[in-house]
Amino acid sequence: MLQPGQLQLHDSAVPDMRDGTYRITLTPRWAAGVEGTPPQSSAFDLVVGDTTSGADVLAVHPPAGADGAFGDALPFVVLRRRTLPWERSGFGQSGMPWLTVVLTREGEGAEAVLAADGSLRCIDAATQARLLARPQDVRLLSHVREVHAGDTLAGLGDDDGWQAVVVANRFPRTPGLWRASLVSLDRRDDLLGNAPTLGLSVLRSWTFTVSAGMHGFLATMSALVPEAFAAPANHPFVDATGAVALQKRDRGGRTHSVRYRSPLAPSAASSPPPAPATIEPDVTEQAAFALGRALAIADGRLLRELAHLRAGALQKQARAQTAASLAGSVGAAPMRAAGLAPEAAAPDVPVHPHALAAASVARWRDAADVPDAGRRGAAAPGLAPARGER
């Protein structure tokens, strides 16, 4: 059982019954001792399997219509049903996934076109063979991803936390418009021969644009040159501590001068900071705190945990106040007999007067051994038994 935040990868998820038509024959027989002729045998065909639909595709990457630095990313498709890539036989070979992602260039120099019948048609057989993944690679380009069902970010809204992932076999290195297509290899053993049929059945297709220039991790690391983080004295807008002066607007609409120091900005260790009376307030730590709080609020699972902790704290406070109120009205001895010793310093949490009165009467009757069929105070706010007290 995976815990929240965990991810596990599996090589495949082969179903017990692959797609196809199965003949089921029913042959009735009489039990021992029963006379007569049993009915004749009957048979019927069972068709297993279907094709992908829009609901089966949970996500694609790069996103459809996106424009960005995708040259170092392999396009892929996330499918809702984990067994889908292994429900049929790719290239007509048993155990071979029947789905793969084909990547083609669009526009000038296009390698294939999306025909009106929904098929992907390459310019020639050689191009089709070059774009398709080899059979030994198709086995490695599909896998299963398992996440905790509560992790909606990683689970993509799936109902059980299991998804199948089909990855393309090459990178979109050249800037420009690209097309990624999820194609079928079901019963396409002709693709392994010398005379393959042109055209691939497309189940899902989308386009994206790869931007020109250097992007991604390499571009970020290449920008970390010494000139960009030189000594503070070389930058007139940076003071001796490496901070810059900014204008901050508070909640009342007033503007104040403050200082902010970037985590990557160096400062000379030998130069003492200015006197506090001569500089503006430093908001570096406040900015970091605000950023951390915003990231925490964006985590739905963390919010649920915080709400659970707050509810438990309020319940404990309500129990403490109710016990203290009962101790003042009933007395300490009946309270100890009822197992409700008042806690010291109970926070002030409102409790409805009617619920407090009902709880007082019920607890007093229990403590004084007065017969009563019901425990009317059991549902009073603050007196509900805590977990493990039953």
120-165: pLDDT as tens digits: 988 888 888 889 999 999 999 999 998 877 665 545 666 778 899 9
> What backbone torsions phi and psi does residue 336 show, to the nearest 5 degrees?
-65, -35
Decide: 100 and 132 in contact? Cβ < 8 Å: yes
pLDDT at 370 over 60: no
**Rg of the chain, C-alpha, whole Å:** 35
Residue 92's pLDDT is 82
Q: Tell me the average pLDDT of the chain.
A: 75
In which band, very low, low, confident or very high, does the pLDDT at 377 lie, cut at 50, 70 and 90? very low
> Cα separation of 57 and 339, whole Å?
58
> What backbone torsions phi and psi does residue 147 show, to the nearest 5 degrees?
-130, 170
The token pair at 373 is: 């069929």
Residue 278's pLDDT is 53
Per-residue model confidence as pLDDT tens digits over 346-362: 444 444 444 444 444 44
Residue 35's pLDDT is 78
Eight-state DSSP code of residue 282: B
Beta bridge partners of 146: 8, 162
Decide: 346 and 317 in contact? Cβ < 8 Å: yes
> Cα separation of 291 and 376, whole Å?
49
What SS3 class is residue 261?
strand
> Cα separation of 199 and 295, whole Å?
48
In which band, very low, low, confident or very high, does the pLDDT at 108 lie, cut at 50, 70 and 90? low
Cα distances (angstroms) measured from residue 263 to each of 88, 223, 288:
54, 16, 10
What SS3 class is residue 210?
strand
Residue with tokens 């420009």: 176
Average pLDDT for 21-35: 81
> What backbone torsions phi and psi does residue 2 show, to the nearest 5 degrees?
-75, 145
pLDDT at 178 over 90: yes
> Cα separation of 274 and 34, whole Å?
106
Decide: 66 and 209 in contact? Cβ < 8 Å: yes
Residue with tokens 């290239």: 91
> Cα separation of 30 and 8, whole Å?
51
Eight-state DSSP code of residue 263: T
Percent of the chain with pLDDT over 90: 16
Distance separating the N- and C-terminal Cα atoms of the chain:
29
